[in-house]
Amino acid sequence: MTHYVSKPVNEHGLVAWSTEENKVWHDLVARQLDLVQGRACKEYLRGLELLDLPLDRAPQLPEINQVLLRETGWQVEPVPALINFDRFFDLLANRRFPVATFLRTREEFDYLQEPDFFHEIFGHCAMLTNPDFAEFTRTYGRLGCLANSKQRVYLARLYWFTVEFGLVEQQGETKIYGGGILSSPGETLYALDDERPLRQAFNIDTVLRTPYRIDIMQPTYFVLDDIRQLYELGQQDLSRCVARAMAAGLLPPLFEPKDMTHA
């Protein structure tokens, strides 16, 4: 459940952002731009250049769509604050990335569990300008459309540890491509600079079996050799990988149950 409600989109695809919302957007982007330089992967930084996001106001969906359509054939789709899995997978399968048209309040400026407009646009859309990442995301959506509810639980881990919280090796350094990290100032620093999390080479069988929680800093990150690895992953028989992971069962979690923590 969420207490946020997406703002309406008019017939031209425009959102009437308020003065305060434009200020929140400015402050979020200004803070995060400094952090992602030198930490984000080259594909993300190139995508940011292509998007040329405004600082003084929240961008409009047609502005984002113009760039995505030209680069990879993708579009962003305005959605309510929360959508069901059927619609989520269907949108991705058809090169439509769901974007909730609400911005966090000042009270939740540093963190909120719901994916807001800043998270979706600043965190994810830059990577959707990259053909390998975009095609992997589309393949993921198509796979999800065909999966049953139990298979989707395992597929969720693949999305979590790639699209949301993925790392990649580039020129001997670990960089970030996951939108959940790149839209979070705390996790941007934690994912690369902190000694506590485990950073391990990406392995599809391990990823599908690794539990996660959405309300804590991640205890584990998986590191790709190259962004191209995502495209190659999408060419595998991922349904067979899911079946193998389901037969093997989950790995032990590296975190306490939610009711035992104060996160």
Residue 104 lies in a domain: yes
**Angle formed at CA 10 by CA 6 and CA 15, multiple of 5 degrees:** 50
The model's confidence at residue 198, banded by pLDDT at 50, 70 and 90, is very high
Asked whether residue 6 is assigned to any structural domain, the reply reads no
Using alpha carbons only, give the angle 199, 219, 36 rounded to the nearest 5 degrees.
65
For position 64, which CATH number holds?
1.10.800.10
Q: How confident is the model at residue 261 (pLDDT cuts 50, 70, 90)?
A: very low
Q: How many Cβ atoms sit within 10 Å of the Cβ of residue 208?
A: 24
Three-class DSSP category at 160: helix
Q: 179 by DSSP, 3-state: which?
A: helix
- In this model, does residue 52 exceed pLDDT 90? yes
CA distance linking residue 165 with residue 115, whole number of Å: 13
More confident: 107 or 71: 71
Residue 236 lies in a domain: yes
pLDDT band at 43; cut points 50, 70, 90: very high
8 Å CB contact between 97 and 74: yes
Cα separation, 181 vs 167, whole angstroms:
9
Are 118 and 183 in contact, with CB atoms under 8 Å apart?
yes
Under a CB-based contact definition with an 8 Å cutoff, are residues 25 and 73 in contact?
no
- Is 119 assigned to a binding site? yes
- The pLDDT of 221-250, averaged and rounded, is 97
Tell me the residue range of the domain where 156 lies.
19-260
Number of domain units in the chain: 1
The SS3 of residue 262 is coil
Q: Mean pLDDT throughout 243-258?
A: 93
Query: Does any domain span residue 151?
Result: yes
Averaged pLDDT score across all residues of the chain: 95
Q: Is residue 70 domain-resident?
A: yes
Q: Are 125 and 72 in contact (CB under 8 A)?
A: no
What contacts 34, CB < 8 A, 6 or more positions away?
none
Considering the domain boundaries, does residue 66 fall inside one?
yes
Is 3 within the bounds of a domain?
A: no
Q: Check the annotation: does 124 bind a ligand.
A: yes
164 assigned to a ligand binding site: yes
Residues 6+ apart with CB under 8 A from 203: 222
Please check whether residue 11 lies inside any domain of the structure.
no
The Cα–Cα gap between 37 and 185 comes to 12
| Residues labelled catalytic | 119, 124, 164, 183
The secondary structure of residue 255, as a DSSP letter, is S
